Structure 1
Amino acid sequence: MNSVISKETETIFLCKACETRSRISLAFPEDGIYRITCYNCNTPSKAKIQNGKFIFLEEVTEEKNNFSLDTLFQDKEKLQKEELSEFISNSKEREQQNSKKPDPSPVSKFLRKAISDIKEKKWIPLFKKETSNFTQPFIRSIKFQKKINVNNFSSNKKILFLTVPVIFFLILTGWNIFEISNYKSEINTLLAELNKNKPSKILDSNGKIVSEIFQKRTSSMKIGDYPNDLKKIILRIEDNNFYSHFGINVFSIFRAMAVNVLSFEYKQGASTITQQLARILINNRKKSIFRKIKEAQIAFALELSLTKDQILEAYLNQVYLGHGAFGFGDAARFYFDKQITDLSQNEIILLASLASAPGKYSPIKNPETSKIRLKSLYTLLTDKGFIKEYQESEINLLYNSLKRKPSDTVFNTRLDKAPYVTEHIRELLKSIDPTISIYEQGGYTVETTLNVEIQDTLDDIVKTHLNNLLLSKQVVKTKIIGGQKVKDDRKIDNNDLQAAVIGVNPTSGEILFFHGGREFSSLNQFNRAIQMRRQTGSTIKPILYAAAIDSGAVHSGTRVLDAPILFRGMKGQKNWAPDNIGMTYDGEISVREALIRSKNTAAVQVAEKLGSEGIDKYYSLFFFPDTKEKQKRFRNDLSVSLGTLEISPLEMAIAFGAFSNDGKIVRPTLIKKITDNTGKIIYTKENKDEFNLKIPKERNVISPDASEVIVSIIKSSANASGFRSTGIKSEIAGKTGTTNDYKDAWFIGTRKNFAMAVWVGYDDQSYGMGNRGMGAVFAAPLWGKIGKKIEDLNLMPKENFTFSKRATFHKICKDSGDLASDTCVNTLSEIFSSNGIPSKICNLKHTKSTKREILKKIF
């Protein structure tokens, strides 16, 4: 049994369990039953104090107001001075009241006062244990601490204690609901921002992609277009419970927290596909608690606003998969050069492996790391029965099929088969709305009239043709000032030789293709096919002759004199003496022969026959139906018969197109319709003068039978131009043109449902191309090469010319141009329009020397 040795001023306690002696330097306060715990072994004992003496009990029932020494022996660090002062003051008052009662000792009196104070004030005395020099613990100081008695706790405080957490929870919940509601109202706006990242697409007449325009390209596929295998694999890897959760997966969050805490690093995420889409919407990948809260709020908003399939569709279209590829459709094209529907199962799994860390797992930059990731996914999918067991050889074969370089991005593979077309569309959108930037605001779909197969061939054909001209030394860049060659001290650069090509369908006005220069670049964006105006040379002659034939001023058999001619200028003006190329003259010839041989002197005579009013009328019909445009660009003099007016390749193409379209010009169009990223139509071709030509939608310029007559003439002209050397077999009506000093070389040709203009020259009009720079040498062969490609690819049907009103054939005398008489020796069958049939019968007395005699008189 434990023992206690009592002295007058101290009590020695001996523990029965460990036999440790402890000295209690203060007497026990009053009689009662106490529990004493050994400081060394924590063995509790019970004792009854009676008259200052210990009586140890084996088992004693504790009374309600027993004083416990367990509390008495708590080890505390500080003494609260004000509480002790209050305690001492109260003790003195009680000492005076109880001075007559005998005390066992002075200290017991002190402790009784303490116990009395405790009962009244609800104080608990705490004793600090210290060790004397001989290592025996004893009590040296007293501290008092308030004890909370739940039974006496006020009802108001209880309510406050219980309601504060509830209020905090309600505030937090309310704030989240408010934020989710706000984000829900902004979901459409956020998704619209994503749509800006969709590439703007330029489509040809058959819906094939001509060009894509983007700064950041994302996919734009519908959920139904994605293969089921891809959707199943993505969901198994990224979010197996996608169709059952409501934006977040609580179980995954706690699992990830446990893994991250145990590993002391961020090893595992818990983001659902909805949360990943939310992260894409807020465009913030920084790891922070605030971003995760915002991400969860937007995830809830997405779930409230969209269906599960809509969320999955947006995710598959927007998720970043490395090298600038956003969305699985774009990634399939970049990594494998395939459509998403053509991917194998292994290719799908490789793309799926990129979603979590596209840079880290890039199969192009980090193939070994990528293989480790891929194998782990194979294991996951195999265990779940998604795929069959894989072979190592399959993985090696998959990686060997990747042809991209580590530095490649989707921007290197941006499709643009018609850069001049793209630039034209950009400018047109800007004219519709100056705030629109097709490079910054994506998702536009531009439907055009182009034929992408032809368009795709132009760049190579044009560059090859120009390079061959330079390599063959046929081009001699020559400085021309005032019609005279001058020495140019600057280094001549032949590589700036340019070309323009444009093809149209005259019947519909649809532009089929065009190429605006040698090669499109940041320094060469000028669209010469549409924006450039140059002198046309002899290519204008079919327009002049058609006007004269339609008006009845001449017919195809009319005789004109090919001889030197001089026009004296008015006072103060120079004389004008037009001459033929090569200074050759053939005497009296027919209009047909004059046009085929491109005689300048004859053209001037035809213009004289047409007259000033006729020139004004027909040039206005063909080129300048708008009065203001005509005032700016047209001058009514005989020089216009030789191509001194500046006309664009587009204007020349549609003018020649009238010959194969019953004498009718249809306003050209390239863009049929433009829709924005919401599907709203912002442009249609109806009643639009797309190229600002200031011409009506449709107009008749000559009669159908006059068209047939001019076609019959310039078919022969085209055959004489040299373009047949390219092997083209189609029936073409066309004309070459060369301007003074060989500055411009032209060929414009037409056939049923097709007209094309070709120009070759320098942008700087002070330079010529040398005396080989003629339309027949530089332009006609290029026209023929493009036409031959169209034939070889069978891109347009071969059709013969048709006319609603037919011209008629009559026999005429070749010497007079009149209807042949019985005495005419040289006759031929010639075609005439209805108002051009000769009314006179030849009355010449024919001899075999008639032509020779005429030439003698001239020369």
Structure 2
Amino acid sequence: MNLLKRLLQTVFVFGLIGVLILIGLYFYVKSDIPSVKVLKDVQLQTPMQVFTRDGKLINQFGEKRRIPVQIADVPEPLLNAFLATEDNRFYDHFGIDPIGIVRSFIVLVSTGQKKQGASTITMQLARNFFLTREKAYIRKVKEIFIALHIERLLSKDEILELYLNKIELGHRSFGIGAAAQVYYGKELRQLTLPQMAMIAGLPKAPSALNPIRNPTRAKARRNVVLGRMLAEKYITQAEYNDAVNAPITAKRHGAEIELYAPYISEMVRAYMVEKYGTDTAYNSGFRVYTTVDSATQAAAQQALIDNLHAYDKRHGFRGPTATYWQEDELPWQKEQIVARLQKVKAIAPLQAAVVTAVEEQSASVLLRTGETINLDWSAMHWARAYINEKRQGRAPKTAAEIIKPGMQIWVRNVDEKWRLSQLPQPSSALVSLDPQSGQIKALVGGYSFQQSQYNRAVQAKRQVGSNIKPFIYSAALESNYTLATIINDAPINHWDKSLGIAWRPKNSPDVYSGPIRIRRALAQSKNVVSVRLMRGVGLEKTADHILKFGFKDEDVVRSESLALGSAALTPLEMARGMSAFANGGHLIEPYFIERMTDSFGNELGTASPLRVCDEIELETDPYICAPRIISEKNAFLVADALKSAIWGGGSWRHKTGWTGTGWRAQALKRKDLAGKTGTTNNAVDTWFTGFNRNVLTTIWVGFDDASKPLGRATYNSNLGKQQIVGGEAGATAAQPAWVQYMRQALKEEPLAPIDPPPGLVSVRIDLKTGLLSEKNDFTSRFEYFERGTVPTKYVLDSGGSTPFEDSLPETEELF
């Protein structure tokens, strides 16, 4: 009894000393212990992800790769792997594990080294959030006290969830969600048992033990984890045997980009950084859903790329990008070629390749993968020599006239067939939006973001050419002109006293029709008619009217060249302005972010765009309604005239038929489309804008060097009848991309014509004079007029009326 009494006294004394030491240590480090209350509202550093409207990932921004997961979504075998390896008594202890501490102490006493830690998952969480990984006694003391605080604040599941999302697991992956993606390109639920064990083994040394850097050590660590799971009866012996024999399957995976759309995602990044600051934008786990649909955006990117390649092909082949050996030198070995090619980055769809053999009308080329492919004659027969933008060499007859062994070239896979290609020299941009709301449906700022991050869709102000004419004609319609008004399409000679020269604006082509109705003049893009209309309305009045469409005053040149398109606008500005003709006269505000959520999908905000409202709504709800800038009647008349730019008019059977400049859009076989070409002097800038009520798309094509013309292409006898020849213009350089894109964008869309609004009347007019007609044949058509502007006289069979009578305001500038 005395011995037991002494033993109890000794235990009590040592226990009391221990408690006093702990109290002393607590007060010693108390000032250095941070508050753990922040863990209640912790914001893990999670990268910003940008998605299409339908949920496809298009980009990711942020240094740390993290995909937050909730504990309920973690597969049970993965939880068991971590618990078995890191802290099997996690759900039983109170933040520290006395058994683990004793075990660690015994190892320290017996070896004199800190070989084995006693950290619980809670203690590791404390270290990861508040401390360093330094192996120091005082750090361990702080770790213990912080862990005790954490256990009082959070539930076990909350602690484990934070730990699994916070922990570093190598290759810039933080948390198990990111590790699954980085190492295996999978979601957690798709991982196999050996893959889960591999991830669970990483916390010990994420840099040294990861399977990409050191697969041998990683496999050994994985098998240790599997052994712990077997010992704790989380897996069976058979599962263990299969798992330890499984091969290492890890390799580095990038973010799961489902549709690479860099120009629109860069717009999102810039907006978010401006709004929230770099650190918050990059690390707060924002999930930003853009307005673009994945299929539509992909179609826009493909149309732009295909169109630039089509331009480049008709202007000739510029030769190899490099030559590895000459004809009189020994060819390189395959390994040497592949090693060099692997240093050449792919650009958009282009892959570098080296010609290894040339036959009569075919060639063998080697890719960077080591694969040899064959280019047949149809893959290269386009490649006559490029001389300059306006001249091409003769059509080749043999492959040797085009390429030779040793040449490094570009190839492109089109419809599962490799073709000789080259990096296009011109640039392009595409903007497609909903004219009723401003929602951007697709946006492409150039051929390759890798090649140039300059977003031409929103940054490049280029002269718009004839794309300005709908605005000029809109001003004329507000000044008592009608679509039936006759204007003289004849050359202008205007003497400029200040310069001592004559200004002679010309049509393109330089052909004149004489007296012509305004509808047809717009559809056929008559330059001199545009000048005469602006003179009739007045330069200042016309310019002021054009500014209503959202353009900046400094971009609208107040000279007569304005009528020919000297204004400089971005494609997005042009699309916004043209939308007024599609939506009944309202100025919408384009937007590209639909909604935002946090990393767990909780809604943070949705777009509240301006929308087109009727007159009653506009009076009662002015804060969401797009402002009216022109009358609905004016908007319809311009839009209807632009339909003639596609479908033309007259009677081909009676030899009075004519085409508009946008006739290529007839290929879509939709009567609800309207559009306008645009070409500047020397075809430096080319445009096409076309629309129906629900979709409007603007395309621009030109060189980044604004002094360089797009030139012309001559006939290539190797290519057949469908090729484009002659001078480049909006109809040839830009519109083909519009047609290709709109074919996809409108594929499932019903017809959406722009209906005539109240206040218009439709009467039959004579096509030659614009006067009323009683005939019902090819000499007449129905035309729309605002009430009060209908012609008052009928055309006379024997010339009783002049073509201009009662149809035109008096002006000295008529001819």
Structures share fold, TM-score greater than 0.5: yes
Q: State the partner residue of 2:345.
A: none
What aligned pairs does 1:806-817 form with structure 2 within 5 A after superposition? 807-817=760-770
What aligned pairs does 1:605-684 form with structure 2 within 5 A after superposition? 605-612=532-539, 614-624=541-551, 629-630=552-553, 632-672=554-594
Q: State the partner residue of 1:472.
A: 314
Q: State the partner residue of 1:501.
A: 430
- Give the direction of change, closer, same or farther, for the CA distance of 1:437–1:580 in structure 2 (3 Å limit): farther
- Taking only the aligned residue pairs, the percentage that are identical comes to 29
What aligned pairs does 1:204-243 form with structure 2 within 5 A after superposition? 204-243=52-91
Which whole-Å CA distance do the structure 2 matches of 1:637 and 1:217 have between them? Answer: 55
* Equivalent position to 1:183, from 2, 24, 35: 35
- Matched AA of 2:310: N
Deviation at 1:244, TM superposition (A): 2.5
Q: State the partner residue of 2:736.
A: 781
Moved more, 237-246 or 679-688: 679-688
Q: State the partner residue of 1:603.
A: 530
1:293 aligns with 2:136: no
What aligned pairs does 1:134-145 form with structure 2 within 5 A after superposition? none
Alignment check: 8 A CA contact 1:667 1:696 kept: no
Which structure's CA Rg is the greater one? 1
Q: State the partner residue of 2:4.
A: none
- Give the direction of change, closer, same or farther, for the CA distance of 1:251–1:457 in structure 2 (3 Å limit): farther
1:534 aligns with 2:466: no
Q: State the partner residue of 2:783.
A: 830
Match of 1:274, SS?
Answer: helix
Q: State the partner residue of 1:120.
A: none
Deviation at 1:653, TM superposition (A): 0.6
Q: State the partner residue of 2:263.
A: 420
Alignment check: 8 A CA contact 2:580 2:635 kept: yes
Residues 65-85 of structure 1, C-alpha deviation per residue, up to 9 Å, x if partnerless?
A: xxxxxxxxxxxxxxxxxxxxx
Q: State the partner residue of 2:204.
A: 356
Which whole-Å CA distance do the structure 2 matches of 1:677 and 1:377 have between them? Answer: 30
1:543 aligns with 2:543: no
Which whole-Å CA distance do the structure 1 matches of 2:756 and 2:110 have between them? Answer: 88
Match of 1:779, SS?
Answer: helix
Alignment check: 8 A CA contact 1:660 1:711 kept: yes
* Equivalent position to 2:92, from 230, 244, 250: 244
- Matched AA of 1:754: V
Which whole-Å CA distance do the structure 2 matches of 1:280 and 1:331 have between them? Answer: 17
Which whole-Å CA distance do the structure 2 matches of 1:776 and 1:432 have between them? Answer: 40
- Give the direction of change, closer, same or farther, for the CA distance of 1:834–1:531 in structure 2 (3 Å limit): farther
Match of 2:235, SS?
Answer: coil
Q: State the partner residue of 2:170.
A: 322
What aligned pairs does 1:282-431 form with structure 2 within 5 A after superposition? 282=130, 284-390=132-238, 395=243, 399=247, 402=250, 404=251, 408=252, 410=254, 417-431=260-274
Which whole-Å CA distance do the structure 2 matches of 1:727 and 1:392 have between them? Answer: 62
- Give the direction of change, closer, same or farther, for the CA distance of 1:258–1:547 in structure 2 (3 Å limit): same
Q: State the partner residue of 2:27.
A: 174
Which whole-Å CA distance do the structure 1 matches of 2:236 and 2:156 have between them? Answer: 28
- Matched AA of 1:710: V
Alignment check: 8 A CA contact 1:256 1:270 kept: yes
Alignment check: 8 A CA contact 1:715 1:732 kept: yes
Q: State the partner residue of 1:706.
A: 634
Moved more, 201-210 or 314-323: 201-210
Deviation at 1:644, TM superposition (A): 0.9
Residues 729-775 of structure 1, C-alpha deviation per residue, up to 9 Å, x if partnerless?
A: 68421111111121101111112221111111122212112133311
Q: State the partner residue of 1:200.
A: 48
What's the TM-score, normalizing by structure 2? 0.71
Match of 1:622, SS?
Answer: coil
Deviation at 1:579, TM superposition (A): 0.4
Which whole-Å CA distance do the structure 1 matches of 2:667 and 2:87 have between them? Answer: 62
- Matched AA of 1:448: T
Deviation at 1:791, TM superposition (A): 4.3
Residues 541-575 of structure 1, C-alpha deviation per residue, up to 9 Å, x if partnerless?
A: 122223323x2533222222222112222444642
Alignment check: 8 A CA contact 2:640 2:674 kept: yes
- Matched AA of 2:766: C
Moved more, 676-685 or 388-397: 676-685
Which whole-Å CA distance do the structure 2 matches of 1:289 and 1:183 have between them? Answer: 21
Residues 144-175 of structure 1, C-alpha deviation per residue, up to 9 Å, x if partnerless?
A: xxxxxxxxxxxxxxxx9999988655422333
Alignment check: 8 A CA contact 2:679 2:729 kept: yes
* Equivalent position to 1:517, from 438, 443, 446: 446
Which whole-Å CA distance do the structure 1 matches of 2:671 and 2:83 have between them? Answer: 58
Which whole-Å CA distance do the structure 2 matches of 1:272 and 1:376 have between them? Answer: 18
1:765 aligns with 2:694: no
Match of 2:181, SS?
Answer: helix
Match of 2:46, SS?
Answer: coil
Which whole-Å CA distance do the structure 2 matches of 1:753 and 1:464 have between them? Answer: 25
Alignment check: 8 A CA contact 1:537 1:739 kept: yes
Which whole-Å CA distance do the structure 1 matches of 2:500 and 2:598 have between them? Answer: 58
Alignment check: 8 A CA contact 2:288 2:593 kept: yes
Q: State the partner residue of 1:579.
A: 506
Task: Please provide the CA RMSD for this pair.
Answer: 4.0
Residues 238-294 of structure 1, C-alpha deviation per residue, up to 9 Å, x if partnerless?
A: 222222322221211222343465566655433222222222224633333233233
Residues 35-84 of structure 1, C-alpha deviation per residue, up to 9 Å, x if partnerless?
A: xxxxxxxxxxxxxxxxxxxxxxxxxxxxxxxxxxxxxxxxxxxxxxxxxx
Deviation at 1:676, TM superposition (A): 7.8
Match of 1:706, SS?
Answer: helix
Deviation at 1:438, TM superposition (A): 5.9
Moved more, 351-360 or 244-253: 351-360
Which whole-Å CA distance do the structure 1 matches of 2:73 and 2:239 have between them? Answer: 29
- Matched AA of 2:120: T
Deviation at 1:186, TM superposition (A): 5.6
Structure 2 unaligned residues grouped into runs of 5+: 1-12, 317-385, 391-421, 612-622, 648-660, 713-726, 805-813
Alignment check: 8 A CA contact 1:505 1:754 kept: yes
Which whole-Å CA distance do the structure 2 matches of 1:469 and 1:608 have between them? Answer: 37
Deviation at 1:457, TM superposition (A): 4.7
Relative contact order, higher structure (CA 8 A, sep 6+): 2
Deviation at 1:800, TM superposition (A): 3.6
Residues 213-252 of structure 1, C-alpha deviation per residue, up to 9 Å, x if partnerless?
A: 1111222233333334433443333222222322221211
Alignment check: 8 A CA contact 1:708 1:806 kept: no
Aligned residues: 655
1:735 aligns with 2:735: no
- Give the direction of change, closer, same or farther, for the CA distance of 1:395–1:777 in structure 2 (3 Å limit): farther
Residues 396-449 of structure 1, C-alpha deviation per residue, up to 9 Å, x if partnerless?
A: 9964754x3xxx4647x678833223333343345446x545675443343432
What's the TM-score, normalizing by structure 1? 0.68
- Give the direction of change, closer, same or farther, for the CA distance of 1:578–1:166 in structure 2 (3 Å limit): closer
Alignment check: 8 A CA contact 1:218 1:327 kept: yes
Deviation at 1:513, TM superposition (A): 2.3
Which whole-Å CA distance do the structure 2 matches of 1:807 and 1:696 have between them? Answer: 28
Deviation at 1:723, TM superposition (A): 4.3
